[in-house]
Amino acid sequence: MNAETRPVDHVIAAARAFLGDRITTNSAIRDQHSRGEDTSSPVQPDAVAFAETTEEVSKLLALCHRFEVPVTPFGAGTSLEGHVTPVRAGISLDLSRMNAILEVSQEDMDGLIEPGVTRHQLNDHLRDQGLFFPVDPGSHCTIGGMCATRASGTNAVRYGTIRENVMGLEVVLADGRVINTGGRVRKAANGYDLTRLFIGSEGTLGVITKIRLRLHGIPEATSAAVVQFPDLRGCVESVIAVMQLGIPVARIELLDEVQMAACIAYSKLEGFQALPTLFLEFHGTERGVAEQAEAVQEIANGMGGLGFAWATDQEARNKLWTARHNAYWAGVALRPNCRGIATDVCVPISRLAEALLGAKEDIAASGMTAPIVGHVGDGNFHTVILVDQDDPTALERAWELDKKIVARGLALGGTCSGEHGVGLGKREFLEQEHGPEALAVMRSVKVALDPKGIMNPGKMFRN
């Protein structure tokens, strides 16, 4: 090897034999792959590789393993915890062109897809077959990225997270070997659950190249409602009561008064006030949906709710849920020249009021602007802490606020991350939450599958 030639240069030269111009050192493309939607400092990879087949991924990883070159998988770049930032440069492996829907079985209600398929693309394809894929993080992310970060979203309270909706995977390991995990059956008791090992592994153990998904039937009836409250406590306690009574809501989302003001302005929502608000959706039969909604309305009225605003036609429902999905951008738009740090605490449902009201107190004490929005049916909520990019102290104060909110969540029996993952942003909380022995076991798994440490280095663990 020429002493002046870097290992990554050998990988790039060799990869051109099977990728051609789909491996590039173009500065603009490298810059696009230098970060996600988080506040971490961007780092340009040495090159970006656009793979289109499992074989190409396998060949590329074998090369990177041989020359010990870091590899950072990249989907749509929407992650909020620094997952796609190539902190040690190397190769950014873009999987967005692996976007084929390979199989759909109406009879078995499952499907096989490539990792670059998005939720919107899949549901557009499924609509005429009476099926849908329910996991809905809200962003235009790839399903491969959703698997890597163990995503969930607005429908998780009824349909579960991505973990419950993945039946099996094809994964390329760090040295280029290809394995298949899981299968098409709904249950199995036959060895270690490798599928669940790779779900949420954030690209640190291998690259997901095919996904076998559980699909669901489109419900006979769907209705949505919005109910507002004069204070946050009544809003939160309504959620707790709904969940403890076992009412099978499909979605139950909370927006505090700051977030609601942001959504009203950003999404042009008419007829609502800047008050703590619940967005709800009900799935089932016509009669079942009506019964669910009436039960929730009765609970909300008892907690001071200001009445239900119904959205029964699809256009009205879409407007409501588009506003909810744009909540992050609406929050960031509240103040000019700001970026958002999103917290991701999840607590047991019985401790939700303490966690949310405590977070409000922390935000008030910090003097920062931080709207709150949450998938509260499963105890998960986010604060979007706005960081003024012209204020040299803002980022440090934002991280201090983040630590306070997470610390309270952990003290209440919760987790530092309900759905965004660890990445760079939550590494310091991992040992605090799991303890040194559990963290040592995680590290041993990493070493066993990636002995040279090339797979998305710097993520989850500090070294």
DSSP 22: G
Determine the angle formed by the axes of helices 427-434 and 436-449, rounding to 10 degrees. Answer: 120
- The topology (CATH level 3) of 101-217 is 3.30.465
In the predicted structure, residue 313 carries a pLDDT above the cut 80: no
Residues 6+ apart with CB under 8 A from 414: 345, 346, 347, 348, 351, 355, 379
Digit-coded pLDDT (tens) for 179-204: 999 999 988 898 999 999 999 999 99
Residue from 412, 409, 407 nearest 428 by CA? 407
| Helices (H), ranges, 199-313 | 232-244, 257-267, 286-302
Domains 221-329 and 335-426 alike in fold: yes
DSSP 317: H
Q: What number of helices (H) and strands (E) belong to the chain?
A: 16, 19
Digit-coded pLDDT (tens) for 90-125: 999 999 999 999 999 999 999 999 999 999 999 999
The CA-based dihedral angle spanning residues 25, 26, 28, 34, taken in that order and rounded to the nearest 10 degrees? -10
Can you tell me the mean pLDDT for 359-376? 96
**Burial bucket for residue 129 (CB in 10 Å: 0-12, 13-18, 19+):** middle
Mean pLDDT (the chain, rounded): 94
CATH tag, 7-94:
3.30.43.10
What is the CATH architecture of 335-426? 2-Layer Sandwich (3.30)
CA distance 275 to 255: 8
CA distance 284 to 351: 29
Confidence of residue 2 (pLDDT cuts 50, 70, 90): low
- Is the separation of the CB atoms in 97 and 52 below 8 Å? yes
- Look at residue 309 in the predicted model and tell me its pLDDT: 84
**Burial bucket for residue 2 (CB in 10 Å: 0-12, 13-18, 19+):** exposed
Digit-coded pLDDT (tens) for 264-303: 999 998 889 999 999 999 999 999 999 999 999 999 999 9
CA distance 315 to 325: 15
In our burial notation (b when 16+ CB lie closer than 10 A, e otherwise), range 183-195 reads eeeeeeeeeeebb
Provide the token pair at 96.
């967005």
Question: Where are the extended beta strands (E) located within 63-205?
Answer: 71-74, 91-94, 101-105, 110-113, 131-132, 166-173, 178-182
Can you tell me the mean pLDDT for 344-367? 96
Residues 6+ apart with CB under 8 A from 313: none
In the predicted structure, residue 462 carries a pLDDT above the cut 90: no
CA distance 210 to 198: 12
In our burial notation (b when 16+ CB lie closer than 10 A, e otherwise), range 296-331 reads bbebbeebebbebeebeeeeebebbbebbbbbbbbb
CATH of the structural domain 221-329, one choice from 3.30.70.260, 3.90.1640.30, 3.30.70.3450, 2.60.200.20: 3.30.70.3450
CA distance 106 to 326: 32
Confidence of residue 463 (pLDDT cuts 50, 70, 90): low
Residue from 397, 462, 452 nearest 431 by CA? 462
What does the DSSP assignment read for 391-439? -TTHHHHHHHHHHHHHHHHHHTT-BSBSSS--TTTTHHHHHHHH-HHHH
- Look at residue 164 in the predicted model and tell me its pLDDT: 96
The domain locations on the chain are 7-94, 101-217, 221-329, 335-426
- Look at residue 310 in the predicted model and tell me its pLDDT: 81
Can you tell me the mean pLDDT for 197-212? 98
Residue from 34, 280, 271, 298 nearest 154 by CA? 280
Residue from 114, 66, 55 nearest 91 by CA? 66
What is the pTM assigned to this prediction? 0.93
- Look at residue 100 in the predicted model and tell me its pLDDT: 98
